[in-house]
Amino acid sequence: MVAAVALAAALAVSAAAGRFPLWLRAAPGGAGRPSATAGAGTSAQATGQPAPGPEPSGSPALTLPQLAGQRVIYSYGGLRPPAALLRLISHGEAGGVIFFSQNVSSDKQIARVIAELDQANASPLNPVRAPLLLMTDQEGGLVRRVPGAPLLSERQIAESADPAAQATAAGSGAAQNLRGLGMNVNLAPVLDVYRQPDDFDDQFQRSYSMNPAVVAELGAGFITAQQGAGVAATAKHFPGLGAAARLQNTDKRPVTLNVPLATIRGVDEMPYRAAIAAGVRLIMVSWAVYPALDPGRPAGLSPAIVGGELRQRLGFTGVTITDALEAGALRAYGAYPNRSLLAAEAGMDLILCSAQNVSEGGQAAAGLEKGYQDGALARPGFLAAVSRVLALRASLGSS
């Protein structure tokens, strides 16, 4: 654990200073996949380009497929991870995996799956000696992918006799539950400030309150408790989906939220300022369009929102993660490789591929590789993103 923390600190310093260890630079001859349409199972070894030996410093170099793979969260269908995913993990070409209820039949079953993933991650062919990012959406209430805590929804927490205590209990309960299964990242809490009863967030009780100060306080309490118990928290969906009406679901269709700039910054972003102050490790950016911030692109594809509003204005230095890459809100932005490229151009670190098909993640990684090769993705920014992801992975325990 000490070594992991030291690595995380070194990577964070390197990213901040614009310097990167030799092992973060694409290895000679490690160009990777021949095209953006190559299959998900392609690896450095499969293309006849084995990962090079250690650099003089003793740190292994990463091939381009490994660099790109660190930025992709994979998913799969059913109760067993497919061989293609295990192969990617064992070759250091995956940053992590997201689990859904369809992947879980019991605590023992998912624990066995995670042990299998961890074993693949420990392969000698994998130069990244850090835990995978193993995540799920365990928000509480109706949105729980695995049995157990937290049982209360965000609205129930806010309506309880002691909301602050209940938010803390939910955060610590989520962490204990997920850690017991072997997971280390929770895609929670939701920090949307809902506007109307039964709207997009409130219909599933996914918002604490219509009061941004309440959302900020309870969200920060959940984050602090969960991360204090060893599971990274994810604040979502920046800059906020609280103004979305009941049917404005970015998973299904494009959504435009015509919220004034003053309201976005004074209401919707208030909980994120509290979350950042609390040290939240990840922030998920929404796929809605916010004309007051960027009239053209969804937030997760917008440099003005990711790089400008979140990074520069609010000062977030942690890991950014997209919402689902397969979302209906992105249907105008082409196939998965192009969506992944645009998200990375905007400043997103992790690409969330949650269609429960390994090929989606492979296509996303291919888009990142192509962008790196042809210069569409500037190398310093690409390596800074990988550095943040590796620092997060290294901080979550020993491999």
Q: What pLDDT is stored for residue 26 in this prediction?
A: 58
Q: What pLDDT is stored for residue 68 in this prediction?
A: 98
- Dihedral, CA of residue 132, residue 134, residue 135 and residue 140, to nearest 10: -140
Q: What pLDDT is stored for residue 37 in this prediction?
A: 33
95-124 pLDDT tens trace: 999 999 999 999 999 999 999 999 999 999
- The C-alpha atoms of residue 293 and residue 313 are separated, in whole angstroms, by 12
Q: Is the dihedral of CA 259, 307, 353, 360 positive or negative?
A: positive
> What does the DSSP 8-state code read for residue 117?
H
Banded pLDDT at 27 (limits 50, 70, 90):
low
pLDDT over 80 (residue 64) = yes
Q: What pLDDT is stored for residue 51 in this prediction?
A: 34
pLDDT over 90 (residue 350) = yes
Q: pTM of the prediction?
A: 0.89
Average pLDDT over residues 254-268: 98
Pairing of strands 133-136, 185-186: parallel
291-323 pLDDT tens trace: 999 999 999 999 999 999 999 999 999 999 999
pLDDT over 80 (residue 245) = yes
Q: What pLDDT is stored for residue 61 in this prediction?
A: 87
- The C-alpha atoms of residue 236 and residue 299 are separated, in whole angstroms, by 12
Alpha helices in the chain, H assignment, sequence order: 2-17, 64-69, 83-90, 107-121, 154-158, 163-181, 212-228, 261-263, 270-277, 303, 336-346, 358-374, 379-395
Q: 210, 240 in Cβ contact below 8 A? A: no
Phi, psi dihedral angles at 247 (to 5 degrees): -95, 5
Average pLDDT over residues 192-196: 98
- The C-alpha atoms of residue 69 and residue 369 are separated, in whole angstroms, by 9
Q: What pLDDT is stored for residue 13 in this prediction?
A: 43
68-85 pLDDT tens trace: 999 999 999 999 999 999
Per-domain residue ranges for the chain?
A: 2-30+58-395
* CATH code of domain 2-30+58-395: 3.20.20.300
pLDDT over 90 (residue 251) = yes
- The C-alpha atoms of residue 322 and residue 173 are separated, in whole angstroms, by 25
- The C-alpha atoms of residue 285 and residue 288 are separated, in whole angstroms, by 9
| Token couple for 382 | 């690409």
What does pLDDT average to over the chain? 89
- Residues contacting 150, CB < 8 A, separation 6+: 138, 139, 140, 141, 144, 169, 170, 171, 173, 174, 177
Q: What pLDDT is stored for residue 24 in this prediction?
A: 61
Q: What pLDDT is stored for residue 174 in this prediction?
A: 98
- The C-alpha atoms of residue 290 and residue 5 are separated, in whole angstroms, by 37
